Structure 1
Amino acid sequence: MPIPDLTIIIVNFNSGDFLSGTLESIRKHPPSNDWHVIIVDNCSKDDSFNKARMIVDSDPRFDFIEAEDNLGFAAGNNLAISRSSGRLILLLNPDTCVTGEAIDRLIYQIDGNSDYGAVGPRLVSENGSNTVSFGWLPTARGILSD
């Protein structure tokens, strides 16, 4: 397998059928570049991790890491990043549904803007409305005015 241009990282903890749906959406709408997915399982008690393994079966673009302890979200991502080989890294939540050319658009933006260090997608809810995916940290003035 060639060295991937993009490593997609997903941290799973009891994500139910969401994780399987995310993996299916990646396969249905893959990026144009060479890609690889690393799924870290944080000691899930449900069968989401095993279901995900069955869905991607022997596809060499998918790797699974079973953490010995629940590392938490950040450390789970860091573990996968330490094992990634992609030029670019995409962090996805296990309930993400990739659509259309969304990943290609992100790659286009980061590659076309050398002053960018990161890009993020527009989040859309199931009913089609935009969802705020960012925010400002609270300030004392903001808290007092609320």
Structure 2
Amino acid sequence: MKHAISSPLVSIVTINYNSKKETLELIQSLGKTTYKNWELIVVDNASKESPMMDIKKLNPQVTVIESQDNLGFAGGNNLALSHCSGEYIFFVNNDTELESDCLTVMVDTAQGLNEKAVISPKFQFYHSNGLIEYAGSTNINAFTARNKAVGRLEKVDKYSGLISTYYAHGGGMLVPRDIIKEVGTMEANFFLYYEEMDWCERIRRAGYKIYCQRDALIYHKESASVGKMSPLKTYYMNRNRILFMKRNYPFPKIIPFFMFYSFVSFPKNAMGYLLKGKYKHLRALCRGVFSHVNPNLTY
């Protein structure tokens, strides 16, 4: 790919929550990037152990913001923005590692477009034999509130080039600062999950596009801080699935989803947890759903 004439400053933002090892590995990965004009802002979301000293020892130039409260993914990213000086903001999960040219390819792509747009790289599962996690995404299904990642579990070299897509991957999004100024930040109420999809909906409604640059590659260790099947994830995935639909599918468009969720999805999941003896997940499911009736039903 031909390199862009200019090399604008990119502000890289990542969130640490009780996952210092992964954060340090990301910083080491960034040290190998071919793109040189970047700054890194790490938001620590009230971890049990501060990562400040170890981060500064590894790279003294990193800005570390220590939040007194766990603000979640959206809130943590929003907190970092006032510390960002870049023309582009690259929101990236701390449990990722970048291919050395990943950032270069994405910035070159952004600079080569005739429009401002959000760009995600292609994602490969870190602990896999070259299998894709994300190479773009389908649109949300208005009936189920689900969508699919393009290429998931296929070989990573099968997909290449730039494509327009419906949703960026929250684990890696290059966003022009001007878009954030116009559209606003992520909705902090999501805390975890669906926040980037809600944001992409707002960005597309404002007239901007979402792209996946499949020539840029990032490796994802997946759910390092939350846990792959934790009750916390069960709570927010169900709570936010409903929240996303309420925000983006106003009445009466939301009626098919409420029918499906009430009579198919919720009973199926609840019965599954009950029969498997996963009572913490059952409790998390119920609290996530009924939090929309009683806001005091937090996790």
Q: What TM-score do you get using the length of structure 2 for normalisation? A: 0.43
Q: Give the match for residue 44 of structure 2.
A: 41
Relative distance call for 1:88 and 1:13 in structure 2 (3 A) is: same
Relative distance call for 1:83 and 1:70 in structure 2 (3 A) is: same
Query: By how many angstroms is 1:95 displaced?
Result: 0.6
* Distance in 2 of aligned mates of 1:86 and 1:69: 26
Query: By how many angstroms is 1:129 displaced?
Result: 1.1
* Distance in 2 of aligned mates of 1:141 and 1:89: 32
SS in 2 for 1:94: coil
Query: By how many angstroms is 1:53 displaced?
Result: 3.0
Q: Give the match for residue 27 of structure 1.
A: 31
Work out whether 1:114 is the aligned partner of 2:114.
Answer: yes
* Distance in 2 of aligned mates of 1:29 and 1:76: 24
Query: By how many angstroms is 1:17 displaced?
Result: 1.1
Query: By how many angstroms is 1:55 displaced?
Result: 1.7
* 1:27-106 matched pairs, under 5 angstroms: 27-32=31-36, 34-46=37-49, 48-56=51-59, 58=60, 60=61, 62-106=62-106
* Distance in 1 of aligned mates of 2:103 and 2:47: 27
Relative distance call for 1:130 and 1:141 in structure 2 (3 A) is: closer
* Distance in 2 of aligned mates of 1:30 and 1:94: 19
* Distance in 2 of aligned mates of 1:124 and 1:51: 27
Higher relative contact order (CA 8 A, sep 6+): 1
Sequence identity percentage: 27
- Which amino acid is 1:97 matched to? E
- Which amino acid is 2:143 matched to? A
Query: By how many angstroms is 1:136 displaced?
Result: 3.5
1:87-114 alpha-carbon deviations (Å, 9 max, x no partner): 1110010011011200000101111113
Contact 1:12 1:49 in 2 (8 A): no
SS in 1 for 2:119: coil
* Distance in 1 of aligned mates of 2:138 and 2:84: 29
Work out whether 1:5 is the aligned partner of 2:9.
Answer: yes
Q: What TM-score do you get using the length of structure 1 for normalisation? A: 0.83
TM-align CA RMSD: 2.3
* Distance in 1 of aligned mates of 2:47 and 2:9: 29
- Which amino acid is 2:48 matched to? K
1:105-145 alpha-carbon deviations (Å, 9 max, x no partner): 01011111132421000001122211126453342267759
Query: By how many angstroms is 1:48 displaced?
Result: 4.5
Contact 1:17 1:48 in 2 (8 A): no
Q: Extract structure 1 runs of 4+ deviating beyond 2 A.
A: 46-54, 132-139, 141-146
Relative distance call for 1:20 and 1:137 in structure 2 (3 A) is: same
